[in-house]
Structure 1
Amino acid sequence: MDMSIQEEPIYTNTESTTKGKKKKKNVPKLLLASVVTVILIGAFASVYAMVFQLQISVQDLKDQINLKKNLSPSITNADLDMDECTSGTHNCHQHATCINTVGSFQCSCNANYTGDGRQCRPNFCSANVDLCKNNGTCLNTSTAYNCSCNIWHSGNHCEQDINECTSGTHNCHQHATCINTPGSFLCFCNENYTGNGKQCGSSFCSANVNLCQHNGTCSCNVWHTGEHCQREIDHVITTRKRNWANARKYCQSIGGDLATWGMRNATVRNWIITNLLQTRPDADYWIGINDIEQEGVWKYIDGVPTTTENSDFPPGEPNNDGTENCGNLRYKYGFKMNDLKCNVKDFAICERLLS
């Protein structure tokens, strides 16, 4: 076969006709149509190939999906959910429990706390009515709770009874025996004394009819005490209320005066308060101090000026509230010194004069 290509002329100027005339032939238009046809056929072939390949890819993807479904037929939205509780992305309160849900989470306050889960506050007291024992008061705090106990109990839950007898917080008389009881205490006068336990008077004579021989009198003078009046005492508490001036007159009548040196000495003053005043019913007591001579200049009646070292006024006292010129030990202030109107009637502390 002859594979040579015959070159076709681009233009033919003339062509014979049956009529013997010459006519022009339009060869370029035919050539352009042939080229366009070839290009279109090639383009259609490429598109068809691409569509065919895409169909194969889609089918492969379907086959893979079906394979996965066959291997894991139970895959749901829950399998694709992120657990905010375990991942730490929740905003539940520190005293709340996080509960994961599909697509979200829930917060629930723990026991003894109340709130919406995002905010939880302590609720120990209302949730535990018997949390504080022995009539203690339960108080919620910012983190938990506290028990406020009465004066007879202690402990985190007020479960411990305070022994007033051993702790020294009782008010039994010095000649009485203190017996602790749950939440309180009892006072009983000792042998040869009589009274209610908080006040005990001597009954030696009535209890021992032959105690004093030879018609002797079983009685000591005001500045002595003891079974045989052998013990000397320096301070006596009056049993009647008087104004300041009359109280001083009484103390002078028994050979003493209103207390001065015992008030300047903190050790003696505290002993008097603990052993003589706190064992008696609540009351105030005149002492030998005033500013009668010069307003605002406080002195003891033996002439010694008061100082911060030899007196015991609380902050704000003396305040001269309404011409208060006489001094006393005031129960309300824990038996600290106080100025008061001199005409008020109070008990008094008489003091033996030092020789």
Structure 2
Amino acid sequence: GEAPDRRSKVTAERVALLVLSALLAAALIVIYRLSFENVHTKKSLQTLKDEHEALRKNLTDDTCPKCEEGWELHGGKCYYFSTSKSTWYQSRDYCRCKGGDLVKIDSREEQFFLEVRVRQKMNNDHDVFWIGLTDSKEEGKWLWVDDSPLNTSLAFWGDTPKQPDNWTGNNGENLPEGEDCVVMGKKSGADDLKCWVDVFCKRNYKSICEKSAETGRVTRV
């Protein structure tokens, strides 16, 4: 038979081989699990990134109102304050070409915003801005550009002199058509926001365009 030392040596080698095999198997399992967890972690991170990007787009592109370059955002609406001067009718055409219309003022808060912004942009008391109000269809019946009547509780006529006065010039010779369109603005500041004045529609002034703010991506122009 085999010598005892020989058998012991073989047994020890087998044990060592089994231990090494077990360690190798354990190492492979650990490497596999680490690789799996790494892949899973990367997928989780990518999922989080995708969700974050989707949320960001949803917040910035779909729900937050915004305006095109050159327009000012306020109260869900966009306002454009022109720098060039034109008649009331030309100004309205210009606003329409830009996707809006001459401004319609629906609240005291909106009047406050516009009065402040216009005053900041005026060079002097004559540097006023057209708004979308006229009584050209019927004298004394003031209508906004959407044909809705002026709410007298939200009228901000100036009172120095008292407005509207439909001035026709000297004995009606200078302005026989009267003053059928409205401008706003008082560089020195308006008492109680009252800075509307009726003027001759064919005079040249700056203007305020208005349109609803957009959601989603806005093309910069």
Q: TM-score, normalised by structure 2?
A: 0.52
Q: Does 1:320 align with 2:161?
A: no
Matching residue's letter, 2:120: T
Preserved CA contact (<8 Å) 1:255 1:353: no
- 8 Å contact from structure 1 (residues 291, 326) kept in 2: yes
| Counterparts of 1:224 and 1:296, CA distance in 2 | 32
Shift of 1:236: 1.0
Letter in 1 for 2:164: P
The correspondence of residues 1-355 of structure 1 with structure 2, limited to 5 A, is 221-223=69-71, 234-260=78-104, 263-274=105-116, 276-280=117-121, 281-282=123-124, 283-315=127-159, 316-322=162-168, 323-331=178-186, 334=190, 336-353=195-212
Q: What is the CA distance between 1:310 and its match in structure 2?
A: 1.9
Structure having the larger proportion of residues in strand: 1
Which 5+ residue runs of structure 2 have no aligned equivalent?
Answer: 1-67, 169-177, 215-221
User: What is the alpha-carbon root mean square deviation over aligned residues?
Assistant: 2.5
Q: Distance in 1 between matches of 2:197 and 2:80?
A: 20
Alpha-carbon contact 1:222-1:254 (below 8 Å) kept: no
Distance 2:142 2:102 in 1: 15
Distance between the aligned counterparts of 2:166 and 2:119, measured in 1?
26
Using the TM superposition, give the Cα deviation of residue 278 of structure 1 relative to its aligned residue in structure 2, in angstroms. 2.0
Could you tell me how far apart the structure 2 residues matched to 1:222 and 1:352 are?
A: 13
Determine if contact 2:128/2:206 at 8 Å carries over to the other structure.
Answer: yes
User: What is the TM-score when the length of structure 1 is the normalising length?
Assistant: 0.33
* Superimposed CA distance per residue, residues 106-151 of structure 1 (whole angstroms, 9 cap, x where no aligned partner): xxxxxxxxxxxxxxxxxxxxxxxxxxxxxxxxxxxxxxxxxxxxxx
Whether the aligned pair in 2 keeps the contact of 1:237 and 1:348 (CA below 8 Å) is yes
What SS does the aligned partner of 1:245 have?
A: helix
* Aligned amino acid, residue 221 of structure 1: E
Task: Kindly state the Cα deviation for residue 267 of structure 1 after the two structures are TM-superposed.
Answer: 0.4
**Conserved in 2, the CA contact under 8 Å of 1:257 and 1:353?**
no
> Which has the larger share of helix?
2
Residues 1:221 and 1:284: Cα distance change in structure 2 (over 3 Å): same
**Unaligned segments of structure 1, at least 5 residues:** 1-219, 226-231
Q: Indicate conservation of the 8 Å contact 2:103/2:208, yes or no.
A: yes
| Separation (CA, whole Å) in 2 of partners of 1:310 and 1:338 | 14
Mark the CA change 1:290 to 1:354 in structure 2 (over 3 Å): closer, same or farther. farther
Larger Rg: 1
- Tell me which amino acid in the other structure corresponds to 1:320: N
User: How many residues were matched structurally?
Assistant: 128
Give the fraction of aligned pairs with identical amino acids, expressed as a percent: 24
State the Cα distance separating 1:235 from its structure 2 match: 0.8
Which one-letter code corresponds to 2:196 in the other structure? Answer: M
